[in-house]
Structure 1
């Protein structure tokens, strides 16, 4: 089964340093789960300003790990600038959440964290 993330850009940044890559993976695992929970809560509470902040904060890490969620994150950011209900953004956050939880498991397994 193929991975939901890619370490190509991380590998390039680290020069192939496995120890550095493990530290970055651990940092991702320390920071992104609480940010994801806060993003989900902000959407649930229709707090668009907070939802934008968390979506925007998560974007560079999602890009760095090559996780195919930029369309959904950008969709969440765009939703925060509209008067649309939370129902319109639920498909985006559901895919983001499901995908990231699988990535968390893959990173833990791949980096023995």
Structure 2
């Protein structure tokens, strides 16, 4: 299952629906994601380290929609699992493993975003 998420491409249909074919705004959304996600993840990891499961759930809830904007609805669904596990305080060791997996996924998404920004700039001659 993890491998499937690792290789999942960005789906820009939702972003295109929101911003139209405005390449500069698309790039801005991608850059905002790459700038803000480390803060969200630091907050999530801090809550995990403190075993503050309510806060883990809140942090997961907060970061969840950002994956839709960058075309990774599959990761949004994965974060929903983290949120649910933390909120219900079920299988907490698995929640910790999922957060570690999320970090790895985010690194892959950053790479996808970098490539997509280059493609958008080439396509629209920016």
* Contiguous gaps of at least 5 residues in structure 2: 1-6, 119-126
User: Is the 8 Å Cα contact of residues 86 and 95 (structure 2) preserved in structure 1?
Assistant: no
Q: How many aligned positions are there?
A: 111
CA offsets 1:8-40 (integer angstroms, 9 cap, x no match): 111121111101100111111111121012212
CA offsets 1:54-111 (integer angstroms, 9 cap, x no match): 1111111112223112332112111222344631312321221111111012212321
User: Does residue 1:70 correspond to 2:73, yes or no?
Assistant: no
Q: 1:21 aligns with which of 1, 16, 26?
A: 26
**Worse-matched range after superposition: 55-64 or 103-112:** 103-112
Q: 1:42 aligns with which of 43, 47, 51?
A: 47
* Cα 1:76/1:3, change in 2 over 3 Å: closer
Larger helix proportion, structure 1 or 2?
2
Write the distance in 1 (CA, Å) between the matches of 2:89 and 2:56: 14
Highest CA radius of gyration, 1 or 2?
A: 2
RMSD across aligned positions (CA):
2.0
Quote the residue 1:6 is aligned against: 11
User: Is the 8 Å Cα contact of residues 53 and 89 (structure 2) preserved in structure 1?
Assistant: no
User: Is the 8 Å Cα contact of residues 14 and 20 (structure 1) preserved in structure 2?
Assistant: yes
